[in-house]
Chain A
Amino acid sequence: MNRVRTFLLASTLAVALPVSADIAVVVSPDSGVTTLTRSEAINIFMGRYRKLPNGDLALPIDQSTLKARFYRALVDKDLAEINSYWARLVFSGEASPPQQSDSAADVRQLITHNANALSYIDSASATDDMRVVLTLGE
């Protein structure tokens, strides 16, 4: 009974609410990359191993307006934890965080100009000039 009730409730919610906004990891359509696993995305954005599946150097870009949602979806951490993580790597001189960008427009421009760049956008705002290689549910 409970399961049926949960299902009905879930279905009602699914119909009643707009599609929950997922986060899409995007690259340039010129990039040789068509898909990315979650662990590859973690390696690239967390500075562990910045290589794209096609062998090229990965250039991750953070977008400030979506950053908190992205890292919550990617590694289940908030911005204080992400900064704490980077403080260790930056101040030991081991690695540098992704480049910081202020807006979706900046991200779009950077990505379309560089086949090695990757960033993230709200799934709802995906357009043809960027290729979605991974979708993170929230």
Chain B
Amino acid sequence: MRRLCIARPISRWGRARADDVRAAPARPFGVVWGALRLTGSGLLAWALLSAALTSAAFGQTLGDERLTFSGFGTLAAVHSNQENTDFIRDISQREGAGEGWSGKTDTLLGAQLGYRFTDELDVVVQGLSRYQESGHFEPELSWAFVRYRPDPAVQLRAGRLGWDVYQLADSRYVGYAYNWVRPPVDHFGTLQLTHIDGADVTFTQPVGSDLVRLKLYAGRSDSEIYLTEGLSAEFDVDQVYGGNLDYETGPWRFRVSYTQVHSDVDFRGPVADQIDSIPFANLDANNVLGDVFGFDRITLFSLGALYDRGPVTVQAMVNRSKVTRHDGQIDSGFVSVGYRVERVTPYVMFSKVKTTSTNPDGSDIDQQTYSVGARYDIAANLALKAQFDRIDTQSPGFLWRDTDSDWNGGWSSIFSLGLDFIF
């Protein structure tokens, strides 16, 4: 293998100097770790300040040019006019945004540390604080992996990895990376996992001026999703595996993907406790609810297309998830078009989700959303967004929280404001 002979260690995205590495400005460790230990508003304030002070490139080196620190975050508020039920971003959220304003649905902060051993080998650790399963903003370890690139055509990663189940799924919390305030809830909101503990391999092959990419991955995982505020399903995923085939030609990126998730599902919460405690019935909540929801084996098929040229961006995806319950499936999809004019990118989006089975019940979801919004790039690391969603719900299923028992659907108006930053 041809060795790279760079005279000195260089960072992939930090500032590089051609003179002495030791002369690079060092951000003292103490400051960074001190800031990481802060919680809530203090951390957000620090991150915002950081974002405002850094230059056009994001990420900074920490003394050693091989060690880089970077991050992302969103400060957002959502307003709902819906008095019968509460709005959520995804099914990991126990409580939703009720009528009026709420700040917890989309607000989050992530930070990444990277260390590069050689041009072929590096490690990445990333944490994320968002409103999640616990009902708090407790930071979670999103990723922690070793990455090895023996050749530009091959990449191997092992450790905790993003669940790259379909396009944009493993960057769905990185608000600065997309135009919307949040990815379409109808499509991304029902995803069960955020990460896998395992390994993946990506092969890239040029075909003329186009690229073909194949990614295969396998591992295990765990997560908790909420079906209602009083009932959650804890996934102990002993096997998750799948692959993506991408075709990139000019401004287009097409993808087909397939994934299998095998898990033991443990139902929790007052609803599960009540089933267990019904006298004389001798019921087991996991069996009863397992029959109802059938999440222990999920198969996902996905198609996606992204277009990005000059001012125009288009995203379109469809997904079918099959579950074991009564031939159950979750079908979802969306299409979004944005057009950038100077610093402003207005966009429109339509998304839809529908579950079907041979035994329909109250947990079925059927709704579609019409969205219009705009992103305004204040700086090259700070974007302000506004989005208006009209949601047409036929059956709320588990995509809403604290639903009135007599509410079976209707129109909801959701207005969101968001500030996304990277540092």
Contacts and interface: CB of A to CB of B under 8 A. Distances in A.
Specify which of A82, A91, A99 lies most central, judged by the most chain B CB atoms within 10 Å of its CB.
Answer: A91
A61 interface: yes
Interface string A56-85: 111101101001100000001111111111
Given A83-B56, A99-B14, 12 more contacts: A57-B119, A68-B56, A76-B310, A83-B57, A87-B174, A93-B143, A94-B170, A97-B13, A99-B12, A100-B15, A101-B15, A106-B16
Interface of A: 37, 39, 43, 48-51, 56-59, 61-62, 64, 67-68, 76-88, 90-94, 96-102, 105-106, 109-110, 113-114, 116-117
13 contacts: A56-B2, A58-B152, A59-B119, A61-B16, A79-B56, A80-B380, A83-B176, A83-B381, A85-B177, A91-B177, A93-B143, A94-B170, A99-B14
B139 interface: no
B56 A64 contact: yes
A84 B14 CA distance: 17
B420 to A, nearest CB: 9
Contacts, number: 151
A117 to B, nearest CB: 8
Contacts of B204: 48-49
Contacts of A106: 16-18
Contacts of B103: none
Given A67-B56, A83-B422, A93 B147 contact: yes
A80 B343 contact: yes
Contacts of A68: 56
Contact of A91 (B147, B164, B171): B171
Please report whether the interface of chain A is mostly helix, strand, loop or mixed according to DSSP.
Answer: mixed
Contact of B248 (A48, A78, A79, A85): A48
Contacts of B2: 56-57
Interface stretch (B3-11, B78-86, B270-278): B3-11
A99 B16 contact: yes
A86 B56 CA distance: 12
Nearest to B168: A88
A93 B162 contact: yes
Interface in B142-170: 143, 145, 147, 151-153, 157, 161-162, 164, 168, 170
Specify which of A80, A97, A98, A105 lies most central, judged by the most chain B CB atoms within 10 Å of its CB.
Answer: A80
Contact of A102 (B10, B15, B211, B248): B15
Contacts of B112: 90-91
B284 to A, nearest CB: 39
Contacts of B11: 99-100
Given A93-B161, A99-B10, A109 B174 contact: no
A8 B86 CA distance: 66
A33 to B, nearest CB: 14
B416 to A, nearest CB: 18
A98 B147 contact: no
Interface in B343-364: 343
Contacts of A90: 13, 59, 70, 112
Contacts of B174: 87-88, 91-92
6 smallest A-B Cβ distances: which pairs? A109-B18, A88-B177, A96-B12, A80-B377, A51-B152, A106-B18
Contacts of A80: 343, 377, 379-381, 383
Interface string B6-48: 1100111111111000000000000000000000000000000
A39 B251 CA distance: 11
